[in-house]
Amino acid sequence: MNFSYKIRDPKGRIHEGELDAPNLDAASQQLRQDGFAIVELEPIEDADDGEGIFPRRITKHEIIYVTAQLAVMTDTGITLSTALQGIRDQEENPTLKRVLGELQSAVESGEDFSVALSKHPKLFDKTYVSLIRASEATGTMGEMLERIAGYLRKETETVGRVRAALAYPAVMLVVAVCVTLFLLTYVLPKFAPLFNRPGAKLPGITKFMMLASDSLLLWWWAWIACSAAVVVAALMFRKTPTGRQAIDSLKINMPIMGTMFRKVAISRSIRTLGTMLASGVPVLEAIKLSGDVSGNVHFERLWQDVGLQVTEGNRIADSLLRSRLFPRMLIQMIKSGEETGKLDTVMLKISNYYDQEVETTLKAVTSMVEPIMITVMGVVVGGIGMALLLPIFSLSKAV
């Protein structure tokens, strides 16, 4: 942070200027150590640190970069405070620069790094904080930061693959809707005078399309209002426990894409559990966080039940056997890891295996969804085309 100061030297002369320091106390102490009497000392905002009305968003990739940088610097013997200062000085994102400054100030004031991170839950989730807390207890900060960076990269890659797989059908759906609206509101009305001629007999599909066209043109405001209401209602329903349960159940049970969502949830929870156990995080806390990161309420409940069973002395594999969400082969591998005392290693190997499975499933889903979406779009456009052509053929025969 930058501070503007007005000080008096030992000879009584007044000096003004600016000073860079982590916080107000550090700036005051630095000036007094130099033999100056402080007249005024106030923080100012750097020109580069201004976030403006709309603060710049901090991306996941920036968090990964900062974590990897901290891992390298702390491994070389640089103190955490100095490492944060070094990264902050070269950071271009003003929002992230401010966060790094707050973390540095907290660390220099004697606060644990995990506690400082927990004050920014949107940037550093519970898994991140728990791993840092474990490293503080074992003195392996550099190694843990490197492990966290690798963990975050895997998570980001998985999410990116899923979004890429969903992007194609989403784009095709938007294109299909736009083409349909264009045909119904612009093309079809051009033929209305021809179809409404006395004595013209229209096929059922043409009558239906004409009614739909008239409805969109006359009641467009009602269609927009209803569409907006449906979207808002769906978003509100998604936030309720019942809505989340229904949507998450649909995601893992739907045809074609259900397998993909199920494997993604398994991969994320298993990877988190393996990483947490390998880092020395308590088993019950690791199990709870594994459910939190799964992104599905049914897997969250499963891991909650597993945690309760473990507190009663049961093994993780035996607890998972009561659910159909995990494949039996996977449970057998977890059981082997528990029996050999290498559960963390087995979990990490399983997560790597499921990462490959997710990638394979995504390719299969994409290859299956593409022809389905093309077929659906062809049926819609072809239906409207038939509604236009059939009456023309009838009129030409009559002529």
Given this model, what pLDDT does residue 46 score? 47
Signed CA dihedral, 300, 301, 302, 307: sign only = positive
The tokens for 264 are 């993604």
> Which two three-digit tokens encode residue 84?
């944060």
* Confidence tier at 226 by pLDDT (50, 70, 90): very high
φ/ψ of residue 309, rounded to 5: -65, -35
Q: Is the pLDDT of residue 48 over 50?
A: no
- Which residue, among 76, 99, 75, 113, has the nearest Cα to 87 in the 3D structure? 99
> Bigger pLDDT: 52 or 265?
265
**233 pLDDT tier (thresholds 50, 70, 90):** very high
The DSSP output letter for 92 is -
Q: Is the pLDDT of residue 49 over 60?
A: no
pLDDT at 50 over 70: no
Task: Count CA atoms closer than 13 A to 252's CA, side-chain side.
Answer: 19
**Cα-Cα end-to-end distance for the chain:** 85
Mean pLDDT throughout 45-52? 47
- The rounded distance, in Å, linking the Cα atoms of 197 and 395 is 10
pLDDT, tens digit, 9 for 90 and up, residues 125-134? 888 888 888 8
What is the number of alpha carbons within 13 Å of residue 280 lying toward its C-beta?
Answer: 13
143 contacts 135 by C-beta, under 8 angstroms: yes
**For position 47, what pLDDT does the model report?**
41
Write the class of the CATH domain 158-399: mainly alpha
* Residues pairing with 364 in the sheet: none
Residue 230 has pLDDT above 90, yes or no: yes
Domain coordinates of the chain in residue numbers? 2-44, 60-154, 158-399
How does pLDDT run across 334-377, given as a tens digit for each residue?
A: 888 888 888 888 888 888 888 788 778 877 877 887 788 888 88
Residue 265 has pLDDT above 90, yes or no: no
Helices of type H across the chain: 24-33, 60-75, 80-90, 94-108, 113-118, 126-138, 141-182, 188-190, 192-195, 204-218, 220-239, 241-253, 258-278, 283-292, 297-311, 316-320, 328-340, 343-398
Is residue 22 within 8 Å of residue 1, measured between CB atoms? yes
Query: In the predicted model, is pLDDT for residue 199 greater than 70?
Result: no
Dump pLDDT digits (tens) for 80-129.
888 888 888 888 888 888 888 888 888 888 888 888 888 888 888 888 88
Domain 60-154 class?
Answer: mainly alpha
The rounded percent of the chain whose pLDDT value lies above 70 is 93
65: which residues sit within 8 A by CB, 6+ positions away?
none
Q: In the chain, what is the greatest distance between 2 CA atoms, to the nearest angstrom?
A: 112
Percentage of residues of the chain with pLDDT beyond 90: 5
Q: Identify which of 287, 266, 282, 286 has the alpha carbon closest to the alpha carbon of residue 354.
A: 266
Is the predicted pLDDT of residue 318 greater than 80, yes or no?
A: yes
Q: Is this prediction's pTM over 0.85? A: no
Contacts of 255 (CB under 8 A, 6+ apart): none
Q: Does domain 2-44 have CATH number 3.30.70?
A: no
At residue 244, what is the residue type? R
pLDDT for residue 40 is more than 80: no
Q: Mean of the pLDDT values across residues 289-296?
A: 85
Query: How do 37-44 and 2-8 pair as beta strands?
Result: antiparallel
Give per-residue pLDDT as tens, 166-198. 787 888 888 888 888 888 888 888 877 777 766
| Structure token digits, residue 308 | 């309760």
Q: Which residue has the tokens 């973390």?
A: 103
Mean pLDDT of the chain: 82
Burial class of residue 70 (count of CB atoms within 10 Å of its CB; 0-12, 13-18, 19+): buried
Contacts of 331 (CB under 8 A, 6+ apart): 317, 320, 321
Write down the pLDDT at residue 23. 67
Q: What angle do CA 46, 52, 53 make, to 5 degrees?
A: 155
Asked whether this chain's domains 2-44 and 60-154 adopt the same fold, the reply is no
Q: What is the pLDDT of residues 3-32, one digit of tens each?
A: 777 787 777 777 777 777 766 777 777 777
**Ranges of H-type helices in 76-121:** 80-90, 94-108, 113-118
